[in-house]
Structure 1
Amino acid sequence: MNEDTPTAQSLDLGVVGNGSFAALIDAQARVVWGCLPAFDGDPAFCALLSPRQHPGGDFAIELEDFERAEQHYIANTAVLRTVLHDSRGGSVEIIDFAPRWHQNARFYRPVSLVRRITPLAGTPRIRVRARPLADWGARIPDSTWGSNHLRWLLPQMTLRLTTDVPVRFVREQLSFVLNHRLHLVLGPDEPLARSIDGYVEEALNRTLDYWREWVRYLSIPLEWQDAVIRSAITLKLCQYEDSGAIIAAMTTSIPEAPGSSRNWDYRYCWLRDAGFVVRVLNRLGATRSMEEFLRYIFDIATHDGSLQPLYGVAFETALHEEEIESLAGYRGAGPVRRGNLAWLQKQHDVYGSVVLATTQLFFDQRLADPGDIATFARLEPLGERAFALHDVPDAGLWEFRGRAEVHTYTAAMCWAACDRLARVAARLGLAERSGYWRERAEIVRAKVLERAWRDDVGWFSASFDSTYLDASLLLLADIGLVPADDPRYVATVEAIGRELKRGDGLFRYVAADDFGVPETSFTICMFWYIDALAAIGRHDEARQLFERVLARRNHLGLLSEDMAFEDGEAWGNFPQAYSHVGLIMAAMRLSRPWTDAL
């Protein structure tokens, strides 16, 4: 790694975005991650993963004699405010946002980051460093400049920075006294045909208005409203609106644990999450986002009747995995991977996930394009696949690379596919098809209850004929396979608490896998456990644990995939959409009713 390249030392990051792209910004207002022109593009800003050969991969506004910083989101928005203080009494405010608003009967959401810099006190001296890299940090891109802009020729787009900072100051990274407000507009190579200060002020106000209006129509619980709203906005920022896809996270290769080599590319859409994401969007009342995601899922699901675990944001199927040598990795802990070999795995639970998600089409009268008999007919092949594969070994939702078993969760999700098709058929008045799918659902359910329950240990096992536990068993009641008061389910939840829980964290599983023994708490699993505790009647305990987990979010209320057990440090890709889904669902279950406030 080049000595001139500062590295992000923690996941104390914020995210700004607009449905076209997103950028991660550290606690000192430095853009350290941003793929262009979309989530799956080349990371022009890649400082988070430590470029080896060249300084840069960042977009910083550095304050000389820096002493401390404060950072928060403007309430109910995706607009980030950072205040930098120097040791001489000077301070600077930086506002960061990606423009988004309604315009001409559609959304204006350019691949653009806007930065407004305002002096607040003293005579602060700053330096602007705009240093995108190309080809995953392997080279400095060719650049040109004009009187009020700079341009970089990136692999997939030409990037333009329009500014009222003197261009030479930016080109040569010169420091200067900030004595009046300045503006930076980063985006496509299109001239700004108006004053930059006028554009930025209008864009800021319209973007603030958009987010406040979006939040205004969310359905939220009485308690933990700030946490739920921030999670809802973060989930929205993980959606690529051209296709409707919702990605797992915005980053690649942040390790699940230090030195573990569990470094994966999460900038894709996993079908295993679909049913739960749709349910959360429905509970939030985020109907447009839900419809867009359902459109993406339905486009995939009705292609040829077979499904793979994950897809690209533009429906890509081949997500070839390779290691990138030009980036050293988060804190230097490589490898950095592009692509994800999980697309080749067999994960049969995805059929249930997709049917669970698309069931919404048939029961939600708010939708512009509700499901009908023809829609149902296009989903039935997924049910046939689920029934045929319910007892066939697969990699499971944890994507084991070195072994295959008949996983209990997989079989339960195959049951869910048949069960929901039976319900949809009944809804449509198709009695014969409802009976057909109900019969298959009962066959699968009986097999799961027979093969997964172990009298000898007193819990449901993670796979047929095994005795080990995993956290996915917490979902058996949630999907409806068994009622929450079933003594077998209660015993399983209690066993998971004994065997997998450590302090305020929860392992996915504790047995060694292809990469050794897991070391960190999987964040979504902790929310599953909290939800399960509430479901079996341990409500007070669930609330207390939920509060402690909330305290482990970063300073902006964001969550990654994993947490260290000892100190709660965030690990894994960030921000993790599914972690925020879990937070929202748990908050909605645990909150006191609104009538308590009325």
Structure 2
Amino acid sequence: MPAMKYPPIGDYALISDCHCSALVSRYGSVDWCCMPCVDDDACFGRLLDWDKGGFCLVAPTAPDVTSTRQYVDGSMILETVFSTPQGEVRVTDFFAMDDKSPENPPLDLVRLIDGISGDVEMRIEVTPRFDYGEIIPRMKSHPSGTFTAIGSNQGLIIHSDIPLDVVAHRDLCGTFRIRAGERVRLAVQFEFPEKITPEVTAQAINPDNLDRHLESTRRWWTNWSSRMRSSFQLDEHTVRSTIVLKALTFEPTGAIVAASTTSLPEWIGGGRNWDYRFSWVRDSVFTIRALQELGYATEADKFHRFIQRCSAGSADQLQIMYGVDGNRRLTEVELDWLEGYRQSRPVRIGNGAAKQTQLDIYGELLEMAWEWHRNGHETDPDYLDFLVSVIDTVCRRWSEPDYGIWEVRGNPVHYVHSKAMCWAAINRGIQLAEDTGFDAPLAHWMQIRDDIREAIESRGYDRERGVFLQAFDSSELDAALLMLPRVGFVAYDDPRMLRTVDAICGELDRDGLLLRYRGPDGLKGPEGMFLPCTFWLVSCLARQGRKAEARTYYDRAIACSNELGLFSEEYDTASNQMLGNFPQGLTHVSQIMAWLALAEN
């Protein structure tokens, strides 16, 4: 089973320690890995250039190999079983975690190879490429039996139980045989070059510790996932989605990334290729709400503090996304030396949308604060001051056009969803003030809230068709309208919402999945079906009492996951392949909320 060039996106599995992340193919190759943080430069990146990007392979040498894989229950530990005519081998992949100090993991990518039956020839290849393939590090062997790869500001310390050969000072490779009951270990540890000394290389990786790392990592994940609580029976997809959302968090700060990758295309060969390794306020709030529904309050508290810190406690300094460490400067750069996944150029790092005006994030922040309060938690006075500044900003800016939830690259528009979220921000602020008694200009807020509603109902509603519209004075529909009832702007069973849902199904449905919208957005080329939108539709239909229709759409969207339960952002119904960055947090959180809506109704 030689690794095919650019496997389908669904052929990959995520591993994570809530700091680093990597994608492992069903062929046993780590083709994407960012260390020491998920938004750092890739050290293995042939996902975006097969020849230049680098990889770490552990696989049988035989051509006639099949593989099956699964996650260890309740964890992000991946097990892949390779079956050959000569026998079976299990490869266990994970990032080591210290269950006693989760904010300071060892930064070890560990690969354990166990013989199950027979006598199988295996091959190891370690081909690091730093700075997204631009730097070929120098590989060096050390008397301790370890190897180091150093270049620019990155360094790796590599250990293997079996001898490996250094090839042209660049790569490592080796072949060995493994029998039932035997174990071979491979570990790749990140370290900054200035800290890689002879003493460090001599003691860096203790083989016995790698076995203990497996147990401590298993304990950490199972302890976390065992705290999952729900009034309803959770299906396996919901359990896996919840664990994936945790895997997309950055433990030290509480930031939550949208996905673990950059530039996986929304259409093969197209240019809609974006860096999603940052923490969007909107997507993070969605995630926090889902985690709170399932019993996880700590993540919400950490994200509250993350956003307050990043914005310096002022709505005027708030932006729509941040780096996992709170970095505001996410300058978008095209890496012209990379060919992109299946020749989908350009490859981008950073994201220019960070500086866009997206008015809906204000509503999401107030929704998060309201949920926190409604669940019995006290709101810090400093955070209340921050929320007041958010509402005051909404009162000043709600009438401006913006770039909306879809981050269009054309001109700003008066999006109905954005306006409704401005309404929601003020409405939740009023409710918080009335509940907690903090000082607020309630009469002024109520007047602005009513002005926003009047504007939406007069300019964002088609009276002839009886449906809400994508934007003021437009005729187009938008799947984001499915979220209007979520914030109370309109009831799920309001006749206007019933007609809007029917119209969206009629105009945006393609083979049982939804497009985001149909109109121009300032970008060239097509895109796939947007999976979160289909799950939003499920939530709407379920709460409208249309459970059979909801279940049909739910089953169709669930079928777009891979066998591990992982979702991308979009889907190509013609080729039945995933599109976009992977795994996509917004899809997973939308799946969770759709399942809860089905269970509740």
**TM-score normalised to the size of structure 1?**
0.93
Q: Does the 8 Å CA contact 2:12/2:26 hold for their aligned counterparts? A: yes
Q: CA deviation at 1:473?
A: 0.4
Give CA deviations for 1:22-81 in whole Å, capped at 9, x if unaligned. Answer: 1110112210101122111111110111155x4x61110121114211111111111100
Give the counterpart of 2:269 among 259, 280, 284. Answer: 259
* Equivalent residue runs for 1:164-183 within 5 Å: 164-168=161-165, 172-179=172-179, 180-183=182-185
435, 444, 447: which is aligned to 1:427? 435
Give 1:33's aligned residue.
Answer: 32
Which residue does 2:349 correspond to in 1?
A: 338
Letter aligned with residue 184 of structure 1 = L
Length-normalised TM-score, structure 2: 0.92
- Please give the alpha-carbon distance, in whole angstroms, between the structure 2 residues aligned to 1:69 and 1:227: 21
User: Which 10-residue stretch deviates more, 112-121 or 492-501?
Assistant: 112-121
Cα displacement (A) at 1:148: 2.0
1:425–1:433 CA contact under 8 A, matched in 2: no
User: Residues 112-171 of structure 1: CA distance to partner in whole angstroms, max 9, x if unpaired?
Assistant: 211110112222111111111012102311222213211111444321112212243896
Go from structure 1 to structure 2 and tell me whether the alpha carbon gap of 1:192 and 1:93 turns closer, same or farther (over 3 Å shift): farther
Partner of 1:59: 56
Count of aligned pairs between the two proteins? 584
Amino acid at match of 1:68: T
Letter in 1 for 2:341: Y
Do structure 1's residue 318 and structure 2's residue 329 form an aligned pair? yes
Aligned with residue 93 of structure 1, among 90, 94, 116? 90
**How far is 1:195 from its partner?**
8.2
Cα distance per residue 1:200-237 (max 9 Å; x no partner): 22211121122122111112464452111110111111
Name the aligned partner's letter for residue 80 of structure 1.
Answer: L
The aligned counterpart of 1:308 is 319
SS at match of 1:48: coil
* Of 573-582 and 300-309, the range deviating more from structure 2: 300-309
Query: Could you tell me which residue of structure 2 aligns to residue 245 of structure 1?
Result: 255
Report if the CA contact (8 A) 1:297-1:354 is conserved: no
**Residue aligning to 1:123:** 119
**1:161-184 residue CA offsets vs partner (Å, 9 max, x unmatched):** 122122438965232222431111
Q: Report Cα offsets for 1:259-307 as digits up to 9, x if no partner.
A: 2210111111112223322211110112222222222122234443223
Q: CA 1:471–1:316 in structure 2 vs 1: closer, same or farther (change >3 Å)?
A: same
Match 2:363 to one of 352, 355, 369? 352
CA contact 2:135–2:151 (8 Å) conserved in 1: no
Query: How many angstroms apart in 2 are the aligned matches of 1:156 and 1:360?
Result: 42
User: 2: distance between equivalents of 1:434 and 1:569?
Assistant: 51
Choose which of 117, 137, 145 in structure 2 pairs with 1:141: 137
1:94 Cα deviation from its structure 2 partner:
0.3
Tell whether the 8 Å contact from 2:283 to 2:585 is kept in structure 1 after alignment. Answer: no
Which residue matches 1:295?
305
Q: 2:392 aligns with which of 379, 384, 387?
A: 384
- Residues 8 and 32, structure 1, Cα contact 8 Å, conserved in 2: no
CA gap of 1:111–1:156, structure 2 versus 1, over 3 A, is farther
Partner of 1:268: 278
Tell me, in whole angstroms, the C-alpha distance in 2 between the residues paired with 1:197 and 1:384. 58
Task: Please give the secondary structure, in 2, of the residue aligned with 1:14.
Answer: strand
Offset, 1:334: 1.5
Report the secondary structure of 2:282's partner residue. helix
Aligned to 1:588: 596
1:558 aligns with 2:566: yes
**Partners of 2:263 and 2:340 within 8 A in 1:** yes
Q: 1:195 to 1:136 in 2, by over 3 A?
A: closer
Q: 1: CA distance between counterparts of 2:532 and 2:557?
A: 11
2:153 and 2:598 map into 1 onto residues whose CA distance is 46
> Structure 1 residues 535, 14: CA separation in 2 closer, same or farther (over 3 Å shift)?
same
Q: Which residue of 1 is the match for residue 194 of structure 2?
A: none
Amino acid of the structure 2 residue aligned with 1:336: V
What SS is found at the alignment partner of 1:122? strand
* 1:522 aligned partner: 530
Q: Does the 8 A contact of 1:99 with 1:108 survive in 2?
A: no
- 2:461 maps to 453
CA contact (8 A) 2:130 2:154 kept: no
Partner AA of 2:284 in structure 1: A
Contact 2:36–2:107 (Cα < 8 Å) also in 1: yes
SS at match of 1:478: helix
**Stretch deviating more after TM superposition (516-525 or 572-581):** 516-525
5+ residue gaps, structure 1, are 594-598
Tell me what 2:12 maps to.
13
Q: Distance in 1 between matches of 2:172 and 2:201?
A: 22
Secondary structure of 1:359's match?
helix
| 1:590 CA drift (Å) | 0.7
Q: Residues 83 and 91 of structure 1 are in contact (CA less than 8 Å); yes or no, is this contact kept in structure 2? A: yes
Paired residues of 1:422 and 1:433 also in contact (CA < 8 A): no
Give yes or no for the alignment of 1:543 onto 2:551.
yes
CA distance in structure 1 between the aligned counterparts of 2:227 and 2:239, rounded to whole angstroms: 11
Give the residue type in structure 2 aligned to 1:23.
A
Cα deviation for residue 332 of structure 1 reads 2.1
In 1, the alpha carbon distance for the partners of 2:391 and 2:373 equals: 16
- When the two chains are superposed, the root-mean-square deviation of aligned CA atoms in Å is 2.3
Partner of 2:195: none
Do 1:149 and 1:167's aligned partners in 2 also have CA atoms closer than 8 Å?
no
Alpha-carbon shift at residue 543 of structure 1 (Å): 1.4
Q: 1:517 to 1:160 in 2, by over 3 A?
A: closer
Contact 1:148 1:167 (8 Å CA) reproduced: no
Q: What secondary structure, in the 3-state scheme, does the structure 1 residue paired with 2:173 have?
A: coil
Change (3 A) 1:405 1:83: same
Describe the shift of the 1:442–1:255 C-alpha distance in structure 2 as closer, same or farther (beyond 3 A).
Answer: same
Contact 2:535 / 2:553 at 8 angstroms: preserved in 1?
no
Aligned residues of 2:32 and 2:55 also touching (Cα < 8 A): yes
Larger deviation, residues 458-467 vs 370-379: 370-379
Q: 1:224 and 1:503, CA in 2 relative to 1: closer, same or farther beyond 3 A?
A: farther
**Matching residue of 2:68:** 70
User: How far apart in 1 are the matches of 2:284 and 2:571?
Assistant: 23
Change (3 A) 1:125 1:432: closer
Superposed CA deviations along residues 569-598 of structure 1, whole A, max 9, x for unmatched, are 1000001011000010011111269xxxxx
Going from structure 1 to structure 2, the CA distance change for 1:340 and 1:374 (only over 3 Å counts) comes to closer
In structure 2, give the amino acid aligned to 1:342.
A
Distance change in 2, residues 1:154/1:243 (3 Å): farther
Asked if residue 571 in structure 1 is aligned to residue 582 in structure 2, the reply is no
Question: What does residue 43 of structure 1 align with?
Answer: 42
Q: Distance in 2 between matches of 1:544 and 1:61?
A: 40
Aligned to 1:285: 295
Mapped to 1, the partners of 2:572 and 2:596 lie a distance apart of: 26
Matched, 1:402 2:404: no
Corresponding residue for residue 79 of structure 1: 77
CA distance in 1, matches of 2:539, 2:249: 25
2:509 touches 2:515 (CA, 8 Å); kept in 1?
yes
In 2, distance between residues paired with 1:221 and 1:334?
46
**Deviation of 1:192 (Å):** 7.5
What is the SS of the residue equivalent to 2:389?
Answer: helix
Partner Cα distance (2:231, 2:22) in 1: 29
**1:256 to partner: Cα distance:** 0.5
Residue of structure 2 equivalent to 1:157: 154
